[in-house]
């Protein structure tokens, strides 16, 4: 079976959905290919409510056809080959991982684009912050970001946020008041969730389940733009997994082969192909498409596909405050500390972004359920148990430091041919390690966390041992001006394939410390012009 399109977009997360919308609005015949199923929001909410532990994936059923990695099973989906297990996950379903993202919509800072020239580390991006800034504004409008215009958080702005900020929580204000005389500036976090109603979407009701699911869609997810693309006559193929990119000898992509969950197969023949399948699935598909003409895989003459895998390895710390701060209410995080993201010593010490959690100890300890269990095992019952539970949970606090990880060629995604999915794709194999730059960041973060806890006033504190995955999968098909050292150019066009584009965090040359979704969106919007221009080539 052959399906014909002007633009084929593989993946329906934020990058693919925005690109599809742009192309369809210009009259292109668009096909969106999504390996996973559509999600029933109500059923997913029920699944989450009954789940324990409540992981980022717990709202979503595992599909036999297209399984996804799970936070509490790091060796089940990935073939872990390195000294440190890679802990970040993603979803394979319509809307992608925007279903279980937190919603933080933060820009990179200008220095993040110039790590090599400013600090002698990593590489520079082929574009500057100034180049991307207008597209950040457009991305904020598309995602309907709520933010505070009184502080640019180190990223100069040319337009205001489209919505006023989400209110800081009582807990945020306790942190802000305790840290006001210090170097730690507690600021509202820009968020892709509605602070007031928009269209048929309500404002945030503080359901406290942003990870893994917003029950009312006040938080942005990419199904919003998938639906808009469909209203513009884009065709959505669900349960349809791309498993081979078919190229001519001259590099032009002529078709993409697929298999459906029912076992049927076919091709999409498209004038332009856009792979928007995240930082693991994008290199996985490219490497699995090796042929006689391209023996190392599609877009891989530089041997950079799959290399330079990055995350924002997290140092997680938590404490028991002396006074009630009333967590477990509202979005998972509504404030952060952004003024350590671009200090002058980044050549030696990683930048840090501190995220203040509203969700108490649920991340480090699966509280409050674990707190109730521990108190009961300690012999408490009835009113005494209820009183102790109320007292302890009212004082749970946590902070997470997102660290900057440098791109290492050895940190990479490859294929494990010993295990092949029903899709025909080999299991992704990951070699992952943390270098001394990141290890120093953890030590620095622990010191900073203890300083903050002392100022807030705590009875005890704890540090999670080992890096926690941030869910920010970046760098495995990076952009650059030199085809010998990168996979795509500054317009996200594959160097060796004129009608192939890669959109998503896989193209990031470096990662900074900002949650990547807003940058993914801005880059996808910017690349849409080049995608449309390629239709006339």
Strands 458-463 and 314-321 come out as antiparallel
Strand partners, 256: 245, 268
Nearest residue to 449 via CA among 184, 154, 87: 184
Distance CA 117, CA 496 (A): 27
Nearest 5°: phi and psi at 353?
-120, 125
- Round to whole Å and give the CA distance between 236 and 233: 9
- DSSP code string of 162-223: SBPPPPPPHHHHHHHHHHTTSS--EEEPPBSB-SS-BTTBPPP---S-TTT--TTS-B--TH
Max intra-chain CA distance, the chain: 75
> What DSSP assignment string belongs to 308-326?
S-B---EEEEEEEESS---
User: In the numeric block, which tokens belong to residue 481?
Assistant: 């001006």
* Continuous H helices in 51-188: 115-119, 129-143, 170-179
Q: Which long-range contacts (CB under 8 A, 24 or more apart) does 365-372 make?
A: 365/318, 366/52, 366/53, 366/54, 367/393, 367/396, 368/328, 368/393, 368/396, 369/52, 371/396
Q: How many CA atoms lie within 13 A of 476 on its CB side?
A: 29
Strand (E) or helix (H) holding 242: strand 240-247
Nearest to 504 by CA among 7, 12, 6: 12
Residue 436 neighbours by CB under 8 Å, 6+ apart: none
Closest CA to 396 of 374, 419, 381: 374
Task: Kindly report the backbone phi and psi dihedral angles of residue 319, in degrees, each rounded to the nearest multiple of 5, phi listed first.
Answer: -155, 165
Q: Catalytic site residues?
A: 472
Who's near 83: CB < 8 A, 6+ residues apart? 432, 433
505 and 471 Cβ atoms separated by less than 8 Å: no
Name the 3-class secondary structure at 519.
helix
């Amino acid at each position: 079976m052959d399906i014909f399109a002007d633009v084929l977009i593989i993946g329906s997360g934020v990058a693919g959905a925005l690109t599809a919308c742009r192309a369809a609005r210009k009259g292109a015949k668009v096909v969106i290919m999504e390996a996973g199923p559509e999600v029933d929001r109500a059923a997913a909410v029920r699944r989450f409510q009954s789940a324990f532990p409540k992981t980022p994936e717990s709202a979503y059923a595992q599909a036999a056809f297209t399984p996804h990695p799970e936070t509490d099973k790091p060796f089940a989906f990935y073939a872990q080959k390195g000294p440190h297990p890679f802990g970040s996950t993603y979803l394979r379903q319509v809307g992608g991982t925007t279903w279980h993202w937190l919603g933080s919509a933060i820009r990179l800072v200008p220095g993040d684009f110039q790590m090599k020239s400013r600090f002698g580390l990593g590489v520079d991006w082929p574009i500057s912050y100034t180049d991307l800034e207008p597209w950040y504004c457009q991305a904020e409008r598309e995602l309907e970001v709520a933010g505070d215009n009184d502080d640019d958080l180190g990223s100069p702005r040319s337009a205001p946020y489209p919505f006023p900020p989400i209110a800081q929580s009582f807990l945020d204000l306790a942190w802000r008041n305790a840290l006001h005389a210090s170097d730690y500036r507690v600021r509202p976090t820009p968020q892709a969730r509605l602070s007031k109603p928009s269209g048929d979407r309500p404002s945030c009701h503080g359901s406290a389940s942003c990870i893994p699911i917003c029950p009312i869609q006040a938080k942005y997810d990419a199904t919003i733009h998938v639906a808009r693309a469909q209203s513009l006559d884009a065709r959505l193929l669900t349960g349809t997994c791309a498993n081979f990119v078919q190229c001519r000898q001259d590099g032009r992509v002529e078709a993409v082969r697929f298999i459906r969950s029912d076992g049927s197969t076919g091709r999409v023949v498209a004038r332009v192909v856009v792979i928007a399948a995240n930082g693991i699935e994008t290199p996985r598909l490219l490497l699995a498409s090796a042929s006689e003409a391209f023996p190392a895989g599609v877009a891989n003459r530089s041997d950079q596909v799959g290399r330079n895998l990055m995350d924002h390895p997290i140092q997680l710390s938590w404490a028991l405050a002396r006074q009630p701060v009333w967590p477990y209410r509202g979005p998972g995080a509504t404030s952060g500390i952004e003024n350590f993201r671009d200090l002058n010593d980044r050549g030696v010490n990683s930048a840090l972004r501190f995220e203040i959690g509203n969700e108490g100890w649920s991340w480090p300890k699966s509280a409050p359920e674990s707190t109730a269990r521990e108190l009961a095992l300690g012999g408490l019952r009835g009113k005494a148990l209820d009183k102790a539970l109320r007292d302890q949970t009212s004082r749970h606090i946590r902070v997470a430091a997102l660290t900057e990880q440098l791109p290492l060629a050895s940190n990479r995604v490859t294929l494990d041919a010993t295990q092949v999915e029903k899709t025909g794709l080999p299991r992704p194999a990951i070699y992952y390690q943390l270098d001394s730059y990141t290890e120093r960041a953890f030590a620095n973060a622990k010191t900073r966390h203890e300083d903050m806890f002392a100022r807030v006033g705590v009875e005890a504190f704890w540090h999670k041992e080992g890096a926690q995955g941030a869910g920010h999968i970046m760098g495995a098909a990076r952009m650059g001006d030199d085809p010998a050292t990168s996979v795509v150019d500054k317009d996200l066009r594959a160097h060796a394939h004129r009608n192939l584009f890669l959109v998503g965090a896989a193209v990031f040359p470096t990662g900074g410390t900002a949650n990547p979704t807003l940058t993914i969106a801005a880059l996808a919007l910017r690349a849409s012009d080049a995608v449309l221009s390629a239709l006339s080539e």
